[in-house]
Structure 1
Amino acid sequence: MDAKDFVEIDGSYLEGGGQVLRNALSLSCILGKPVRVVKIRANRPKPGLSHQHLHGLNLLRDIANADVVGNTLLSTEVEFTPRSIGGDTYHVDTQTAASITLIYQMALPVLLFAGRPSRLYVSGGTNVAFAPQVEYMEQVLLPNLKHFGVGFDLQVQQYGFYPSGKGSCQLDVQPVEKLLAGQFLDFGHLQLVSGVAFCAGRLPRTIATDMQQTAQREIHRLWPHQMCSIEAVKHLPEKARQNGAGILMTAHTSGGCVLGSATLGEKRVDGRLLGSDASCQLVEYIRKEICVDAHMQDQLIIYMALAVGRSSMRTGPLTNHTRTAIHVAEQLTGVQFDVEVESSGQTLVTCEGLGQLNRML
């Protein structure tokens, strides 16, 4: 294909990580636009495609029946030419602890524009560093995407942690005719704090209990009468064979906002510290009455760009992930995002969406 037919995306922009690649390829599939992504993950210690990115790229190749150049491990340049989006059953086995949720993050928006329902099995890590935990995808991403008229069903068959992974999930996606404009503007008042604190493998259940009690104590210290329900779970051996621990906390408001905060244990697991870190982050969101948490910001950008009508979200300071997502979306869709820091210190992000319709339905 002639060079001028590709939209070239600079993979070193801002945070220079894998998100440029993920968003560029997802939008390429949906819009039917060939892309060339250069300088992939240029700002990372090991630039180029990692296992996770390579598996995601090859998955989108299969979903969109695309021609691909550069889909090899550590490749720093990829050319991707999509054809049509097929709804089907797909299987990805990373054979590592590569993040399952980041692979789903690439595929989900694409499968929404397929011609029929899809099922996607992925094996890898369900709860790994520098990626959304699987509980966050279920309990925070899903309710936020409902604002766009989007739903999915996610089942965890096996939990998997670093370094060996071996987790597995099933994602079922129903296609949509279009995405509705999402509005995330009214915090209202806090109604409920919920969550799950878990441990697995040889780690004692007391770690989950320490996370639970510390997190609940912090919420009740600030709001003594606030309903706060955090479940402490020790995963059964058939659901999680390896050592792992973490906590997800969610805040639900009368304005329909669902905010999340998660922490993950590493080599030395201190349940009290993990519970404290998660609750302190969630408390900050609640106090500032923002509608979209720092880890949800960037995930909503692609949906805002494609929706029919004007989407708006009120959030905190924009992360580099979000600024990167906006940059890629503007380059590929031609839409314009408006970012305004309000007198309250909140950040208002608005976008008149492209109004993309599902060509396959």
Structure 2
Amino acid sequence: MNIREENMIEIDGSQGEGGGQILRTALALSLITGRPFRLLNIRAKRAKPGLMRQHLACVQAAVAVAGGEAHCTAHNGQGQALSIGATELSFTPGPVQGGDYAFAVGSAGSCMLVLQTVLWPLVTAQQPSTLILRGGTHNPMAPSFSFLSHMAPYFAGGGPALFEMQLMRHGFYPAGGGEVQVRVHPPAQGLAPITLLQRGALVQAWAECLHTGVPRNVAERELAVLQRALGWQPEQLRNRGLRSNEGPGNVLQVVLQFEHITEVLTAFGDKGISAEAVAQGLVREVQSYLAQQAPVGEHLADQLMIPMALAGLQGKTSHYWASAWSEHARTNAQVIERFLSVRFVTEPLEGGVRVELRSVADACGTWVAHST
């Protein structure tokens, strides 16, 4: 057994929430730390376990930014090439290289999840990068382009922008076909600490319905429900019909912009679900968020964890107050703690949870990916 095999981390993909986030976080941190890993029981708690097309795209993107197959390897449990349905992955990283990359999911799967896999390794690279991502841009069970573009400033922790996003074409399930350009700017001084403990005053709020290939009155009905339930004015309601070749699709989102945080809440139209039911579900989410004081919503809480951990390796303390600490977040913390010398410490706070990132003495990872 060579040194790299002895250093291999073994992860049970059935732990915690048992989904694809375990894979994406492990890939990202393996690239950053240079530590290989073996992932068993991939997506064991999903209706269709194993790698789906979008997860295979994440692995392929990770290999690409680490110098390709000549420097980075990804195999199934039998040491063979990965394919859809694989439930075991052995991954040995190579040195991460900034540059120009294009990744396509090849279906309506979320290309934002591919970004989630390679973003932080490229942020720690020596050179800037430009990515072209193709696939779904607004998908259920994944951060949307709209969400990530609004959240981008908070990942930087008050430091220079780490990445910029431009939507070239929307992509919805089941057709896909979306395209996003992302420019990644590695910070010269490393990541800044993240502190998000107050919302501040509400600056503005609005709802936006993205739709194409569905009857126009669907958007009108959805927005009418939001207007009545939230007491909003007509100018707060944005009805955005998209090009016919970008659909079909129906996404309803609410943006709440406070002094210190912006929250984006999203609902998706689907066959068999009325426009009113879609909007009412979103109303409940908005009302739940507004009933609390915690600035960080449940989904952003999960997204902030890797940049917090990377800043923590430089001795920078980060903390935030979240409205919820989900099983998804707890599982993500466990995976991060397997690779990096950090711990996430939580404590209840006024109906939410305060999360702090602390370093630990037993270091098992470093800021620099590894030497070339």
**Structure 2 length as normaliser, TM-score?**
0.88
User: Is residue 189 of structure 1 aligned with residue 207 of structure 2?
Assistant: no
Indicate conservation of the 8 Å contact 2:112/2:144, yes or no: yes
Instruction: Please show how residues 28-177 of structure 1 align to structure 2 within 5 Å.
Output: 28-65=30-67, 66-70=72-76, 71-139=82-150, 141-147=151-157, 149=159, 150-177=161-188
Indicate conservation of the 8 Å contact 1:179/1:355, yes or no: no
Question: Secondary structure in 1 aligned to 2:192?
Answer: coil
Aligned counterpart, 1:273: 277
Aligned counterpart, 1:214: 225
- 5+ residue gaps, structure 2: 77-81, 360-364
Question: Secondary structure in 2 aligned to 1:108?
Answer: helix
Question: Secondary structure in 1 aligned to 2:342?
Answer: coil
Counterpart code for 1:193: A
Of 300-309 and 21-30, more deviation after overlay is shown by 300-309
User: Is residue 341 of structure 1 aligned with residue 351 of structure 2?
Assistant: no
| 1:25 aligns with one of 24, 27, 37 | 27
Aligned counterpart, 1:262: 266
**Shift of the alpha carbon at 1:280?**
2.3
CA RMSD of aligned residues (A): 2.2
**Shift of the alpha carbon at 1:148?**
5.8
**Shift of the alpha carbon at 1:359?**
7.2
**Shift of the alpha carbon at 1:355?**
7.9
**Shift of the alpha carbon at 1:228?**
7.2
Counterpart code for 1:142: A
**Structure 1 length as normaliser, TM-score?**
0.90
Aligned counterpart, 2:300: 296
Tell me how far apart the structure 2 counterparts of residues 94 and 183 of structure 1 sit (CA, whole Å).
34
Of 320-329 and 299-308, more deviation after overlay is shown by 299-308
Counterpart code for 1:181: P
**Shift of the alpha carbon at 1:270?**
2.9
Indicate conservation of the 8 Å contact 1:292/1:315, yes or no: yes
Question: Secondary structure in 2 aligned to 1:213?
Answer: helix
Aligned counterpart, 2:339: 332
Counterpart code for 1:206: N
- 5+ residue gaps, structure 1: none
Aligned counterpart, 1:351: 357
Instruction: Please show how residues 228-267 of structure 1 align to structure 2 within 5 Å.
Output: 229-238=236-245, 240=246, 242-254=247-259, 256-267=260-271
Aligned counterpart, 2:362: none
Counterpart code for 1:248: Q
Counterpart code for 1:348: R
Identical aligned residues as a percent: 30
Question: Secondary structure in 2 aligned to 1:116?
Answer: coil
Indicate conservation of the 8 Å contact 1:230/1:249, yes or no: no
Change in Cα spacing, 1:355 to 1:28, as seen in structure 2 (3 Å) is closer
Change in Cα spacing, 1:195 to 1:86, as seen in structure 2 (3 Å) is farther
| 1:315 aligns with one of 322, 334, 338 | 322
Aligned counterpart, 2:12: 10
Counterpart code for 2:174: P
**Shift of the alpha carbon at 1:227?**
10
Of 38-47 and 211-220, more deviation after overlay is shown by 211-220
